[in-house]
A and B are shown apart, each in its own frame.
Chain A
Amino acid sequence: MTTTPAQTTPIIGLEGLSRDFQRPPVLAERLLALLGRKALPPVLRAVTDVDLAVRRGEVLGLVGESGCGKSTLGRMVSGILPPTQGRVTFDGQAVPTLTGRDKLGYVLGVQMIFQDPYASLNPRQKVGDIIAEPLRVHGMATSRREVIERVDTALAEVGLDPSYKERYPHQFSGGQRQRIGIARAFIVNPRFLVCDEPIAALDVSIQAQVINLFMDLRDKYELTYLFISHDLSVVRHIADRVAIMYLGRLVEIAPAADLFAQPAHPYTRALLAEIPSVKRRRRKFQPVRGELPSPLNPPPGCTFHPRCPFAIARCREERPVLRDIAPRRQSACHLSDQI
């Protein structure tokens, strides 16, 4: 099969993407600054120098523990949060340079699904109004009748009865609310969905329903997903490729099957070993020690070295870069060749 340049251009590209956070200075710090003393609040680097390309039609799983920067990354991809450094590209064009129709193409084409189905829906709006709001904001429907028709279609698409549009969010269960959130993202015909822990708040039997819905919608509309999750077993099921994040940086990227068959980075190995499985009984737990270090004060060298069972002297001094270790596989570890 021959590929045209348009097919090989990633739908979303991240180039040297970083994001800092700094709290506003407190009074004492402002006074000291007035006196000419340097007393600015510390800078927290949540995402550091991420390069990543998401190909058309793929599901890219982004995995990491709380505080690793995965949600911040997702919010930059969807344009909710501007990066401090680097840029996001959409169909090969840098997002800040987009204008007019191209900009609208990005704004509508990239939609986000949030983790908490209780916090992401306005409790005072009817479900029909919540789902129709993007249409109104962007003037995408010519008549009230068309709005109603499209809301009905979107509800049916996510497996909810169109009559539900007269109800309020509190009248729905967690799984149903997550479907409402999906319908709202879906009504503008997006091409790319950033799903930020979309099933973490749901019960086991409901998780399966929503995962199935995501897979059905992807097949039907040839969507591309950035699927953010802390749950490796869910990512294994849904993702084509997986990126592992630790303390703001990507530490491993690999096709899902390869990553689960043969994890390269010690952190990925630790994560995989900790997935609870119904196949294992009375396990002798041997967990990775320590906790995620504070991003305000990251360790020198490889940020994983204080917890890494394989760490050598070099890991404490020199930060490993993300490099190719096999076709389509990258890992950031000094020991990639040895372990």
Chain B
Amino acid sequence: MSGALLDVRGLRTVFHFLEGAYPAVDGISFTMRSGEVLGLVGESGSGKSVAGLSLIGLIDPPGEVVEGEVLFKGRNLRTIGESALRQVRGKEIAMIFQDSLAALNPVLTVSEQMVEAIREHADVPLPAARERVIAALRQVGISSPETRIDQYPHEFSGGMRQRVAIATALLNKPDLIIADEPTTALDVTIQGQILAEMQTLARETGTALIWITHDLGVVSELADRVAVMYAGRIVEIGGIDDVLDRPCHPYTQGLLDSIPAENAPGSRLRQIDGTAPSLAARPVGCAFRLRCQRAGPLCAEREPDVTEGPSGQSWRCHHPIPQGDRP
């Protein structure tokens, strides 16, 4: 895939504990084109956040990226070295975190930290950098940015802080933004505002977006493609319409089934029984088999490989949901 903006191959991140190394991200592979929005969906502990951090080398001990390649515009980010990676981070690839209060420096004004983000990567005079910051804040819907720029993060509401984080990510016109649950802590009306702005910005600037979330509804409305993670692996990936309308993996189907709006009001929800296995206690074979209604003897013996369908949708399952069975 030469036209890919991002080509991730067999990325594996482990966490070292006294008892051994446990894989939080267990060999994930995917590609992204410029301007594409990829939803990365999973429950807590599925490895989706670790996957996002692993892409740009932000894993701290006891975590370690041990295998795989992250080819970004043809360069392998895993081997270019820390100083080159620093130039990529915040310039070509930006990240937005769930907790904007923790992501912003509380003792610096918004202006100070955003100007730093510009001048770290380019020799821009201070007044010009300030102008760019004001323009970026206005772009994400912050009113009277000329005065708000000199305020501290605690003077902003949660929604406004997340806008500041987004504006910071956009400052250097990155090719890729990795957003980790950026709207999870926000109210639905504020989430709607942020999604609207992200969508417009991605379209206008051609920025590709990895949107990490547990909310399939948000992904459905925002993404072009979706990857579903379970126990450190991408168990299904494909175009948004393929995966959400014709899921092949039983876990994807289970997630869709447990959404209240997909069940008649007052009826019993079709739940997935059990809980996701912890990092240290993943079962042999398919990690989902203990919660899966389609599991057979083969699932306990060996882990399923990736199968790819005609439309580019692929899944890891020995007993995928047959597409002929659908109404």
Contacts and interface: CB of A to CB of B under 8 A. Distances in A.
Interface string B29-50: 0000000000000011000000
Contacts of B269: 208, 211-212, 237
A286 B266 CA distance: 30
Given A215-B268, A278-B217, A291-B157, A286 B189 contact: no
A254 B148 CA distance: 41
B244 A205 contact: no
Contact of A203 (B44, B217, B268): B44
A271 B189 CA distance: 7
B239 to A, nearest CB: 10
Contacts of B190: 291
Interface string B259-295: 1111101101111110110000000000000000000
A285 B199 CA distance: 8
Contact of B216 (A208, A278, A288, A291): A278
B261 A275 contact: yes
Interface in B207-243: 214-218, 220-222, 224, 240-241
A204 B255 contact: yes
Interface string A180-216: 0000000000000000000000011111110110010
Contact of A291 (B159, B256, B262, B270): B159
A289 B43 CA distance: 30
A273 B221 CA distance: 12
A276 B275 contact: no
B265 A275 contact: no
A256 B275 CA distance: 31
Nearest to A276: B217
B interface, how many residues as a size bin? 35 or more
Nearest to A280: B221
B192 A203 contact: no
Interface in A242-265: 256-257
B265 A236 contact: yes
B220 A278 contact: yes
B4 interface: no
B191 interface: yes
B113 interface: no
A287 B192 contact: yes
Contacts of A277: 217, 220-221, 261
A284 B199 CA distance: 8
Contacts of A288: 189, 192
Contacts of B188: 65, 230, 232, 271, 274-275
Nearest to B45: A203
Given A274-B189, A275-B188, A280 B271 contact: no
B284 to A, nearest CB: 21
A33 to B, nearest CB: 28
B258 interface: yes
A220 to B, nearest CB: 13
A285 B141 CA distance: 14
B66 interface: no
A331 B189 CA distance: 20
B124 interface: no
B214 A281 contact: no
Contacts of B44: 174, 203
B279 to A, nearest CB: 13
* Interface class of chain B by DSSP: helix
A217 to B, nearest CB: 13
Nearest to A203: B43
A270 interface: yes
B103 interface: no
Contact of B220 (A65, A176, A237, A276): A276
B271 A65 contact: no
A278 B244 contact: yes
A285 B201 CA distance: 13
A271 B188 CA distance: 7
B195 interface: yes
A51 B273 CA distance: 40
A281 B259 contact: no
Nearest to A213: B271
B187 A66 contact: yes
Contacts of B191: 274, 276
A238 B43 CA distance: 23
A23 interface: no
B272 A281 contact: no
B261 A204 contact: no
A236 B260 contact: yes
Given A278-B217, A281-B220, 20 more contacts: A66-B187, A174-B44, A203-B276, A204-B214, A205-B276, A209-B272, A209-B273, A211-B269, A212-B271, A215-B266, A236-B260, A236-B265, A277-B261, A278-B256, A278-B262, A281-B240, A285-B193, A287-B195, A289-B193, A291-B190
8 contacts: A205-B272, A208-B269, A211-B260, A230-B187, A233-B261, A237-B265, A237-B266, A291-B159
Interface of A: 65-66, 173-176, 203-209, 211-212, 215, 230, 232-234, 236-238, 256-257, 270-271, 273-289, 291-292
The 5 A-B pairs with the shortest beta carbon distances in the complex, nearest first, are A276-B217, A287-B192, A285-B196, A208-B258, A237-B260
Interface of B: 43-44, 157, 159-160, 187-193, 195-196, 199, 214-218, 220-222, 224, 240-241, 244, 254-256, 258-263, 265-266, 268-273, 275-276
